[in-house]
Chains A and B, each alone.
Chain A
């Protein structure tokens, strides 16, 4: 049997979940023995080159590009995992969800203390090359179907490792209390 293929991406996240993935340390060598990586910042493959088995998503959707990437992942992966708080609930970026987008843009580019210097022309970025900002930050499962959720900010390396091993071996993931308590 060929090795399961894994793809990963970071949408509206801080890359902390990917850092946590790297925190599996030397086990990453074991990992590449049992899985093959496709599109992912880890191997810098930019586009899908084949159908994948597992897609790991960090971050929620804050702009149109996030949505396109996420939909692309859904199309190309059999199983999608929301990894971490932002993918699951929107996380810190979703703090803006209670504020109308116009106010957010004004604060960021026109009125905020960091906008006073450097944006004398009072421009709101509108280049067509830029992704369009969504009215609020959406968790991934509000955009596409998500199969599994790995909570944490970031999820612990061991949890990611255990989940991947469980998926690859087909064994049930053990979730003792210590792994899922967060207070």
Chain B
């Protein structure tokens, strides 16, 4: 073990900032990161064991215990449940004879839950030893488990490959793109390299000017003007600068970046190159979520090709002194790493805890140097802006939100998938487009966004009305909004809190317990005011976007679906009911000591 771990550490030049990569390699090599491995890594990097341990404990996909020869991560997002996840989970448990969260007695198969893996349009889905198995049925679960019992390799159990590049031999994936509508920006015809060839004829100032003229705003969700971000970064003091691309895509219900990464990876890397040119960066990092690890070889090959074609590397496109290259940094399963400062921490090999701001990443980002972080989609759009001009882009969309948006639409609709639409599309029109006219509610922008009812279906998707990072979940009449959706979202936030801010660490759990109290029939009207008042504190009392929005599932449904909550309270006059039951509370201890409960 010592030799192997030393080799891994050497591979990353004994650089502690590459701890994530080292841990990922060790986890992949041994199936766990044992206590001995921790010691060896700490020695090799000359850091303390707890530094190693705290990074390990932060990420879902690192483990200090074996998770089996075959490790099954079954998505537990709300949409997965809509699509029959409960039956699939039960079948896995029955076939494996072990519960989720544990490994079979022989140590062969591990069953684990995981948050949204970016496959909402093809649920239920699982990741098995890194390979995505979408659209699981009970019979294919049986086949998979039987295959494991026979000792087959995971690739041997794969079914039909997906559409488009998914069947490229480097991707070799069963995932489908489900591109339902292409628009005039991302999916327009494009010859690779066009924007870079044009780029090198411009000055960095002109590039930023063009991006500013396009009025493009960050498409990851926050909507910060991209041109301004680049401008700030180019002006910040620093001897080195970095371009980071955020491909963490952790918001449940988002899967648009997965499709871009599959079909348009060139655009991402060209976009990063453009940003690098504009701000003067030499190094770029694509931060890719672990769930998309199956793309590694494919994306590396795209990077190699770009290097061959001189679109990456030294003197790019013949421009003397324009040097830039990109590496891929994998995450290890943490929603909060989609927050830009947490993403930077993760890139530096640490726990993905958001930083205090200011300073902002454009001032002090990766390795404390000025850094631009943009979402996948933003960078791809920039390529088209350089190709066609900022004005062309600014003509599309609405007054405040220029351009197009890739929506990942899933849930109770006929045609889930990815749609490129102009900003400003009305919810009602969108529902018609996807065959979801019967919707009871629409969750715009994932759990951290808002849940709207019919009366708001006339509203439009854009920053001046309903902002969206791309996740749209359609919720049909047959769903129990509070139980199936809100509780699921709260469980998600409980799991994903980094734990740094106390309100985010504890309130989601307390709020969830309140919801359970209501669902158990023990609700009183003051519970609703409590839910509302306590939820409001989250916005002010937490430092990052995750914590600030973690009570949004409750706040927005309380606002738009109050009748659903009130229906759970049978007696509106009652002012106190916790459902405390003395019989139930003493049952376990009486059994333990062998006496009859006497109340």
Within 8 Å CB of A134, what residues of B?
585-586, 589
Give the CA-CA distance A1 to B592 in the complex, in Å: 53
Contact B593 A100 (CB under 8 A): no
Decide yes or no whether B320 CB sits under 8 A from chain A: no
Docked Cα-Cα span, A133 to B595, in Å, equals: 11
Enumerate chain A residues within 8 angstroms of B592, measured Cβ to Cβ: 101-102, 105, 124
User: Among the listed B576, B597, B598, which residue makes an inter-chain contact with A144, where contact means beta carbons less than 8 Å apart?
Assistant: B576
Residue B593 contacts which of A67, A124, A145 (CB distance < 8 angstroms)? A124
A37 interface residue per 8 A CB criterion: no
Category for how many chain A residues contact B: 20 to 34
B 517-542 contacts with A by CB, 8 A: none
In the complex formed, the residue of B with least CB distance to A124 is: B593
Given A128-B598, A145-B575, A135 and B589 contact (CB-CB distance below 8 Å): yes
Asked whether A105 lies within 8 Å of B593 as measured between CB atoms, the reply is yes
Asked if A116 CB lies within 8 Å of chain B CBs, one says no
> Does A176 lie at the interface of the complex (its beta carbon under 8 Å from any beta carbon of B)?
no
Interface string of A129-150 (1 = CB under 8 A from B): 0001111101001111100000
A144 to B251, CA, bound (A): 40
- Is A49 positioned at the interface, with any CB of B under 8 Å from its CB? no
A98 CB, nearest partner CB in chain B, Å? 13
Restricting to B564-591, which residues have a CB under 8 Å from any CB of A?
575-576, 578, 580, 582, 584-591
Type the 1/0 row for B474-498, where 1 means its CB is closer than 8 Å to any CB of A. Answer: 0000000000000000000000000
- List CB contacts (< 8 Å) of A85-137 with chain B: 100-102, 105, 124-126, 128, 132-136
Tell me which of B591, B593, B595 has the highest count of chain A C-beta atoms within 10 A of its own C-beta. B593
> Chain A at the B interface: mostly helix, strand, loop or mixed?
mixed
Among A64, A100, A124, A138, which residue has the most Cβ atoms of chain B within 10 A? A64
How far is B375's CA from A180's CA once the two chains are assembled, in angstroms? Answer: 43
A102 touches B588 (CB 8 A): yes
Chain A nearest CB, measured from B168 CB (Å): 48
> Majority SS of interface residues in chain B?
helix
Contacts of B576 in A (CB 8 A): 144-145
Most buried by A among B591, B592, B598: B592
Interface size on B, residues (CB 8 A): 20
Most buried by A among B588, B589, B592, B595: B589
- Chain A proximity mask over B112-146: 1 for CB below 8 Å, otherwise 0: 00000000000000000000000000000000000
Q: Which of B578, B582, B584, B589 touches A101 (beta carbons < 8 Å)?
A: B589
Which residues does chain B contribute within 8 Å of A142, judged by CB atoms?
Answer: 578, 580
Q: How far is the CA of A136 from the CA of B588 in the complex (A)?
A: 10
What's the least CB distance linking A102 to chain B, in Å?
4
B582 touches A67 (CB 8 A): yes
Expressed in whole angstroms, the Cα–Cα distance for A100 and B598 within the complex equals 21
Contacts of B598 in A (CB 8 A): 128, 132
Judged by a CB distance under 8 angstroms, whether B594 is at the interface is yes
Q: Give the contacting residue for A64; candidates B575, B578, B593, B599; CB below 8 A.
A: B599
Distance to closest chain B CB from A25 (angstroms): 35
> In the complex, which of the residues A125, A133, A136 has the most CB atoms of chain B within 10 Å of its own CB atom?
A133
Q: How far is the CB of B159 from chain A (nearest CB, A)?
A: 42
Alpha-carbon distance A126/B592, docked complex (angstroms): 9
Choose among B575, B578, B589, B594 the residue that contacts A132 (Cβ–Cβ < 8 A): B589
* Beta-carbon nearest neighbor of B586 in chain A: A132
| Closest partner residue, chain B, to A142 (CB atom) | B578
Task: Please indicate the chain B residues that have their CB under 8 angstroms from the CB of A128 in the complex.
Answer: 595, 598
Q: In the bound complex, what is the Cα–Cα distance between A35 and B557 (angstroms)?
A: 48
Q: Contacts of A102 on B, CB cut-off 8 Å?
A: 588-589, 591-592
CA distance A14 to B598 in the complex (A): 26
How distant is the Cα of A124 from the Cα of B594 in the complex, in angstroms?
Answer: 8
**A183 → chain B closest CB, angstroms:** 11
Residues B597 and A132 in contact, CB atoms below 8 Å apart: yes
User: Residue-by-residue, is A45-69 near B (CB-CB < 8 Å gives 1, otherwise 0)?
Assistant: 0000000000000000000100100
B361-375 contacts to A (CB < 8 Å): none
Q: Tell me the minimal C-beta distance from A75 to chain B in angstroms.
A: 13
- Alpha-carbon separation in the docked complex, A135 to B582 (Å): 10
22 A–B pairs (Cβ distance < 8 Å), ordered by A: A64-B582, A67-B582, A67-B585, A101-B588, A101-B592, A102-B588, A102-B589, A102-B591, A124-B594, A125-B593, A126-B594, A126-B595, A128-B595, A132-B598, A133-B586, A134-B586, A135-B584, A135-B588, A135-B589, A138-B585, A142-B578, A143-B580
Starting from the known contacts A132-B595, A135-B586, 11 additional A-B residue pairs (CB-CB under 8 Å) come to A64-B582, A102-B588, A102-B589, A105-B589, A105-B592, A124-B594, A132-B589, A134-B585, A135-B588, A138-B585, A142-B578
- Name the 7 nearest CB pairs between A and B, nearest first: A145-B576, A133-B589, A126-B593, A132-B586, A124-B593, A126-B595, A102-B592
Chain B contacts to A: CB under 8 angstroms: 575-576, 578, 580, 582, 584-595, 597-599
